[in-house]
Amino acid sequence: MTASRLAMGLPVAAGVTAALFLLMRTLILVEPGAMPEETPRLTFDINPEVKIVEPDGPTPDEIEMLDPPPPIPEVPVDPTPRPDGELTDFIGELPRLDPPVIETQNTNFTVDGDARPVIRIEPVYPNSALQRGIEGDCVMSFDVGTDGVPLNVRADCTSAVFTSASVRAVERWRYDPMVVNGEPRVRSNLQTRLNFELND
């Protein structure tokens, strides 16, 4: 059975091979055509001929030379004589001015007036009042010493929670002391109000 199949297949394979060979030969076969015309050659001249042009104007030998200008005349200078003596011999001696003397023994520039605030520090809102949402105010009474420092600070508050913070704040204030007849004096019974309000 195998030999009969081989005998039948060989002629078929040979026919297919021959057909493929003829097909490939047809595809690659090109008919001869006319050859393209010869391209003309390009030539280059590396030593071109240079044309000499004669100048239109006069030559250096034909230019007329001009005479040099006359020299600058010298002008005589009459020097001013310098003085032989000192400068004071000519302008005179300068006057000597002594500085004015200002007597300050009995002078007093201090202006009388009441105590005036210089530094004012706001009190710190107590945490316990913040947590509980408490608001209020304190009426502060105090004296100002001759050095401008508050003394005898007292607080009358709507809630005792604000007393300590108010007293500490006023004790850190500073004033220009009260002046009477040019001398600082103790200013008594100053009053002010401190408000403790929660911002919305």
- pLDDT tens digits, residue range 96-154? 667 766 665 554 556 888 999 999 999 999 999 999 999 999 999 999 999 999 999 99
In a domain? residue 121: yes
CATH number of the domain that 179 lies in?
3.30.2420.10
What distance in Å separates the CA atoms of residue 124 and residue 165, rounded to the nearest whole number? 6
Residue 145 lies in a domain: yes
69-97 residue pLDDT tens: 778 777 776 666 665 655 555 555 566 66
Question: Has residue 165 been placed in a domain?
Answer: yes
**Mean of the pLDDT values across residues 36-54?**
66
Is the residue at 77 inside a domain?
A: no
What's the rounded Cα separation, in Å, for the pair 196 and 200?
Answer: 13
In a domain, 142, yes or no: yes
| Number of domain units in the chain | 1
119 touches 173 (CB < 8 A): yes
Q: What is the mean pLDDT of the chain?
A: 79
Q: Can you name the residues that pair with 180 across neighbouring β-strands? A: 183
How high is the pLDDT of residue 50? Answer: 65
Q: Among candidates 130, 131, 164, 168, which has minimal Cα distance to 150?
A: 168
Instruction: Give a yes or no: residue 46 inside a domain.
Output: no
16 band by pLDDT with thresholds 50, 70 and 90: confident
pLDDT at 200 over 90: no
Q: What share of the chain is helix, strand, coil (3-state, %, to 5)?
A: 25, 20, 55
Q: What residues make up the domain containing 189?
A: 116-196
C-alpha neighbours within 13 Å on the C-beta side of residue 50: 5
**Assigned token pair, 196:** 């403790």
Euclidean distance between CA atoms 33 and 37, whole angstroms: 12
Residue 191 lies in a domain: yes
Residue 74 in domain: no
Record the pTM.
0.46
Which residue in the block uniquely carries the two structure tokens 């009388």?
112
> Residue 76: how many CB atoms within 10 A of its CB?
4
